[in-house]
Amino acid sequence: MDKKSVPAPSEEEIDWGGSGAGGSKNLQKDKTLLKNVHTGLPNPPSGAIKCSLIKGDYLYFHYGCDGQDDRGWGCGYRTVQTLSSWICHNCSPPENHCRPVPSLPEIQHALVTMGDKTDSFSGSREWIGTFECSLVLDHFYDVPCKVVHVRGGGPELEHVAVAELHQHFEKHNSPVMMGGDRDNSSKGALGVWTGDKGSYLLVLDPHYYGCELDRTELQRRGWVAWKRVSSLDQSSFYNLCMPQTARLLNVF
């Protein structure tokens, strides 16, 4: 990773507002979130043949980061929020689509409004995946997504997923949401590294819950880390939700 090309980490305050479905009484306003938490992370222990990374700024959303305890069901929502924050920071919004990152109630309400979920979904603890992510980003930001299905097994992950991710980061620059069946824990992908000792994904894990940590501590604990592709569940399929942002990108 070329550390000089990555913006310095910082913090940002988010005004969550109060217009979400069901209200936002559980949310803390002006919550400080860390930006670009992968900055300065050491490269994988493998000689680089090809490395593709996101460009631009994003905020790290994780369990409980807005005061709502969503442990056990909210990881998909948090990854959607991280992707949304990247769109807010780096894309020129179409008319009528300049809006902040949606809250969890707002995401649920949007999925009900568009007919993907029944009324009982609002206020529930039902999780969401890559398909719902694609609907939400299109609804709030007019950003279409490409959803790639990767069958379980080493060859599919090492070749199909890695090739798709290289192409995505080089063209669209945006983070990607990942999820599967046996491995149903949502995660963000910020980069891909093809080396002489195998491939790695730069994974942003939304499952952290607790007091705010600084960037160095998040990296030390592995909440953002380079993970060997071979360490993924080889018996699980994976879906990749790739925001198609090229037409909206600001100039980097």
Residues with active-site annotation = 75, 205, 207
- Bridge partners (DSSP) of residue 147 are 241
The amino acid at 111: L
Distances from the Cα of 77 to the Cαs of 31, 126, 228, in angstroms? 17, 10, 25
Mapped onto helix, strand or coil, the DSSP state of residue 32 is: strand
| Other C-beta atoms lying within 10 Å of the C-beta of residue 119 | 7
3-state DSSP helix/strand/coil % of the chain, to nearest 5? 30, 25, 50
Half-sphere exposure of 52 (CA within 13 A, CB side): 19
- For residues 67 and 61, what is the distance between their CA atoms, to the nearest angstrom? 12
